[in-house]
Amino acid sequence: MQPECSHGLISVATMLTPGERTPVDAAGNGSYHALHRDSVSEVIDDLKSKRADAVLVSVARCDAPTRPSIQNMLHEFPRVPTVALLSASTPEAPGVALCLGTSGIKELVDVRQASGWRDLRRFLMRYRAADIQREALAQLAIDLAGAPDDCWRFFEALFLAPPCVSTIRALSEMLDVLPSTLMSRFFRAKLPAPKRYLAMARLVRAARLFENPGLSVANVANHMDYSSPQSFGRHVRALTQMTAGGFREHFDGTRMLHQFRVVMMLPHLDRLLKLRPLSNPNAPVSGSGQVH
């Protein structure tokens, strides 16, 4: 049974000309969902509320008065993929594109040719899975090489589950195992409780979000599905003995992933490599530890 959370398409906040909106919508069918906005401030609101996963800005909308706002947005949200869209040849376009590049936009998609729309879809879909999730799974695949498949499934779920999976009950439903079974198998293996693994994995993801200066503690708490910023702060203090602000200053996503491994993985590898938290312990063992 899957938790009742949205697994929708990647959401892209756009600032486009009226003529660009319809072809952008058509190109995104099945790949992304466009949120068309009229100003940089509206796009920033989408990023703060995590309604948008990426940004698409038309070269034609980036006049001189607008460019400082775009540059500020790029500074505040460096982890959000931002794409410049070139759809028409104008005398100003090359200079504007150059200015956007120096401002921090690293990707320009030229849709004057039909292949450009395919390039846009490919670029955005690369970010469908958050980069810290890919980084975590790549590292854990090495740590857990040879572990039983269901052990790998547990750790894979920690990083691939949507933010609404915040309790062991919800994670157990996702993994189709009873919460009591999951907890007892970790206890018998003399491992930290599964809820602690889940809590620490969620902090890895929160630390990556905090790399965007434009996201407040409240924004991150909301995105990670905590009931309030205060609840998030209590969670951070319980696990790290830091305030949410101190946590933000001390950890980025990669550093928190290292902490996850040092505390939760490496001291327990001998037991983790034998752990079978989901399946019948008497069933034949098959090793995994591969990123699926």
Whether residue 264 is found in the same domain as residue 180: yes
CATH number at residue 70: 3.40.50.2300
- The pLDDT tens digits for 73-96 are 999 998 888 999 999 888 888 888
Long-range contacts of 224-228 (CB under 8 A, 24+ apart): 224/163, 224/166, 225/163, 225/164, 225/166, 226/166
DSSP state, residue 277: S
The structural domain count of the chain equals 2
CB 221 within 8 Å of CB 265: no
Q: Which of 108, 125, 142 is the last residue of a domain?
A: 125
List, in sequence order, every residue forming a beta bridge with 37; answer none if it has no partner: 15
Length of the chain in terms of residues written: 292
Whether 91 and 14 map to the same domain: the answer is yes
The 3-class secondary structure across 2-16, one letter per residue, is: CCCCCCCCEEEEEEC
In a domain, 103, yes or no: yes
| DSSP class per residue in 72-91 | HHHHH-TTS-EEEEE-S--T
Shared domain for 106 and 199, answered yes or no, is no
What is the span of the domain harbouring residue 17? 10-125
Quote the distance between the C-alpha of residue 105 and its chain's center: 19
pLDDT at 46 over 80: yes
Between these two residues, 190 and 284, which has the higher pLDDT value? 190
Rg (CA), the chain: 22
Residue 20 predicted with pLDDT over 90: yes
